[in-house]
Amino acid sequence: MRLKDRVAVVTGGARGLGRAFALRLAQEGARIMVMNIVLRDKDREDMQETVRLIEALGGEARSFAGDVTSEADTKAMAEAAVAAFGRIDILINNAAIYDGLVRKPFDEIDLGEWDRVMGVNVKGAFLAVRAVFPVMKAQQSGKIVNLCSETAFTGSHGFVHYVSSKGGILALTRALAIELGPHNICINAVAPGFTDTEASRSLADVTRYDTSKTPLKRLGTPEDITGAALFLASAESDFITGQTLVVDGGRYMH
C-alpha cells in the first residue's frame, strides 16, 4: 500500500469528490481526518458515513466539524488530527463552493456570493495549509494537494467567481511551493475538467456533455481525479512541486 502509516486530512470530505478522496487514500493505507462544515444534520450524518465507509474497508478515520474559512477551526482540526494519529502527512484541499452555483453574467453576481466563493475556495485552502504547516515542518515532510479546475485555463461563461477562485488556487500552489520546498513539503494541484460527480449532476445533465473535443471521448470520473491526487500524495511524486496536473482527457493541453 502506497500510503501505509500515513495520515491524511481531507477537507470537504463528507460527500461527493471529498468522500472519494478519503476512501481512495484509506484504501492505500492512510488514516483519515475528515473535515467538513456542519450547517445541518445531514452534513454531520454524511461526514459520519464517510468515516463508517472507511472503517468498513478496514481503515481508521475521524471526523471534525469545522469551517475552513475560520483560522480557529482549521487550527483545531490540525490539533485534533495530531491528537488522534500523532502526525499529518497529507492535506487534500477539497472544500469548495461549486454545487448550487447558478451561471450569471459577471455584472449580475451578488457580491456576497463572490465573497463566499473566494472565502471558501481560496482563503479556506490557504488557512488549511497554514494549520498543517507547523506539523509538516517539524516532520520535515508533507504532501499537499489543492483542487484547481480546468476552467482556470479555459474560462467558463457565467462562473467568473468560481473560475477566479480556481485561478487563485493555481497561483497559491506556485507561491507556496517556493516557501514550503525548503521544509521538504511538496504542494501541487489537480485541475479536473467537467467530471461526473454529485455536484456536477446538480448543475447540468452530465449525459449531454459534449465529449467531441475530448481526445479520450468520455467524461471524467471521480476515480480519474482521485488517482491523480493519490500520485501527488505518494512518494512517487517526491520531486514534483508547484505543478498543476490537468485531468480532463486531453481537452486542454499545456
Q: Give Cβ neighbours of residue 81 (< 8 Å, ≥ 6 apart).
A: 7, 9, 33, 62, 64, 88, 132, 135
Report the C-alpha gap between 206 and 128 in whole angstroms: 31
Residue 138 near residue 87, CB atoms below 8 Å: no
Q: Which of 182, 194, 8 is nearest to 89 (CA)?
A: 8
Quote the distance between the C-alpha of residue 17 and its chain's center: 8
CB 128 within 8 A of CB 73: no
Kindly tell me the sign of the dihedral angle through the C-alpha atoms of 130, 135, 137, 142. negative
Set 98, 162, 209, 252: catalytic member: 162
Instruction: Label residue 21 exposed, middle or buried (CB < 10 Å: 0-12, 13-18, 19+).
Output: buried
Size of the chain in residues: 254
Tell me the C-alpha distance between 65 and 44, whole Å.
Answer: 7
Q: Residue 204 has what DSSP assignment?
A: S
Contact 169, 189 (CB under 8 A): yes
**H or E element in which residue 226 lies:** helix 222-233
Catalytic, 162? Answer yes
**Grid coordinates belonging to 12:** 470537504
* Catalytic positions, written as ranges: 162
